Amino acid sequence: MKILIVEDEGRISRRLERMTRQFFTDILEALYICESLEEGQSYLNTHTFDLVLLDLNLNGADGFELLKAVVAESFHTIIVSAYKDKAITAFEYGVLDFVPKPFSEDRLSQAFLRVSAKEKVTTMGVRFLAVKKRGNSILIDVQEICYIKGAGIYSELHLQNGKREIHDKSLERLEQLLPHTFERIHKSYLVETSQIKEIIVQSGSSYKVLLTNGELLPVGRTRYRSLKVKLFGER
């Protein structure tokens, strides 16, 4: 497991490091410590992590800004903060737990147990995607997505309410990040499988899927068999 601690108080970061190393001693691969928002963003842009421990007040900078910038990355987040009134907002960002300061070893261990349980029973995947609009980041719950269409280095998120949003990551990158319920059906399309109503076989060995919203999307010939297996268990 690779872990990042983002905390500006040396005394607290050292305590977090000690307790983290003790709890994850058998599976810890790497542990990094950052003292600022900028340093944390830099690490997250250049490394892959399984868990981030994040303070919300980083020398006056808002820790939520880090989550806005990297919300489409696949890692668990535990907030460790004295700002208890921020807990609801934190959970809206999809964090796994909120540990208020001052914290005990037992309370932090409870949060770590939640991480361990998640690792055992789920396939990691992001819960939200951040869409930038007029300088602000809007969180889109992945459960609201019907399908995603590739648009070069960007992607179009087609939502179940009929709206469309542009995301700044490629279809290939989103395929890596999203839960296993999303299936690549074509070089240009990634679909949430619960939105597929029917697979239509057309003349000339071409295929399409009919979505619950009535739209038809193409299915690549090489992807038809695996899609059929996933949806119906048929070979």
How many angstroms separate the CA atoms of 16 and 30, rounded?
Answer: 14
Mean pLDDT of 153-179: 90
Structural domains in the chain plus CATH codes: 2-121 (3.40.50.2300), 142-232 (2.40.50.1020)
Look at residue 169 in the predicted model and tell me its pLDDT: 84
Range in 60-64, 105-109, 114-118 the model is least confident about = 114-118
Residue pLDDT, tens place only, 181-196: 999 999 999 999 999 9
Whether the CB-CB separation of 132 and 63 falls below 8 Å is answered with no
Look at residue 122 in the predicted model and tell me its pLDDT: 45
Q: How many CB atoms lie within 10 A of CB 159?
A: 15
How many angstroms separate the CA atoms of 233 and 229, rounded?
Answer: 4
Mean pLDDT of 99-116: 94
How many angstroms separate the CA atoms of 169 and 177, rounded?
Answer: 10
Does 233 have pLDDT greater than 80?
Answer: no
First to last CA, the chain: 36
Question: What token pair was written down for 118?
Answer: 């998640």
Q: pLDDT > 90: what percent of the chain?
A: 55
Look at residue 70 in the predicted model and tell me its pLDDT: 66
Residue pLDDT, tens place only, 122-165: 445 677 888 877 767 788 889 999 999 999 889 999 999 999 99
Whether the CB-CB separation of 144 and 129 falls below 8 Å is answered with no
Look at residue 71 in the predicted model and tell me its pLDDT: 56
Tell me the CA distances in angstroms from 29 to 1, 25, 48, 74, 150, one per residue in order. Answer: 5, 9, 12, 17, 34
Report residue 235's pLDDT band, with 50, 70 and 90 as the boundaries. low
Q: pLDDT > 70: what percent of the chain?
A: 93
Return the HEC string of the chain.
CEEEEECCCHHHHHHHHHHHHHHCCCCCCEEEEECCHHHHHHHHHHCCCCEEEECCEECCEECHHHHHHHCCCCCEEEEEECCHHHHHHHHHCCCCEEEECCCCHHHHHHHHHHHHHHHHHCCCCCCEEEEEECCEEEEEEHHHEEEEEEECCEEEEEECCCCEEEECCCHHHHHHHCCCCEEEEECCEEEEHHHEEEEEEECCCEEEEEECCCCEEEECHHHHHHHHHHHHCCC
How many angstroms separate the CA atoms of 153 and 171, rounded?
Answer: 8
- Sole residue written with tokens 């990551």: 169
Q: What is the pTM of this model?
A: 0.56
The amino acid present at 96, given as its one-letter code, is L
Instruction: Provide the mean pLDDT of the chain.
Output: 88
How many angstroms separate the CA atoms of 218 and 200, rounded?
Answer: 10
Residue pLDDT, tens place only, 49-102: 889 999 999 999 999 888 877 654 568 899 999 999 999 888 877 788 999 999
Residue pLDDT, tens place only, 3-18: 999 999 999 999 999 9
Most confident of 105-109, 115-119, 151-155, 220-224: 105-109
Does 118 have pLDDT greater than 80?
Answer: no
